[in-house]
């Protein structure tokens, strides 16, 4: 299920994005970006509709995914 990012509190959205960008295995190439830069980039993707917040009710987990990946999950 897609959760509109606007429905989350500012604190919850910040925490979700920070958890997402600090996961092991997240690849940003050879460039070094600050946590603030990474968070801002993901927030822009959510605002542009390029990424969504997906809630998996079976696993009771929330994740940020590229919008086009949602079709692969259905």
CATH number of the CATH domain containing 47: 1.10.10.610
Across the chain, where does the E strand assignment appear?
2-3, 51-56, 61-66
pLDDT at 53 over 80: yes
Question: Domain containing 38: what range?
Answer: 2-73
Paired tokens of 50: 């390029």
For the purposes of burial, counting CB atoms within 10 Å of the CB of 42, is it exposed (0-12), middle (13-18) or buried (19 or more)? Answer: buried
- Give the total number of structural domains in the chain: 1
45: closest CA among 64, 32, 26? 64
How many Å apart are CA 20 and CA 8, to the nearest integer?
15
For the segment 19-51, what is each residue's pLDDT rounded down to a tens digit? 999 886 556 666 788 889 999 999 999 999 999
pLDDT value of residue 70: 73
């Amino acid at each position: 299920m897609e959760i509109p990012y606007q429905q989350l509190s500012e604190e919850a959205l910040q925490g979700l994005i920070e958890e997402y960008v600090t996961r092991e295995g997240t690849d940003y190439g050879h460039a070094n970006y600050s946590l603030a830069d990474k968070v801002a980039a993901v927030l822009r993707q959510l605002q542009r509709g390029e990424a969504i917040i997906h809630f998996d009710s079976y696993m009771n987990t929330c994740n940020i995914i590229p919008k086009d990946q949602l079709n692969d999950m259905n």
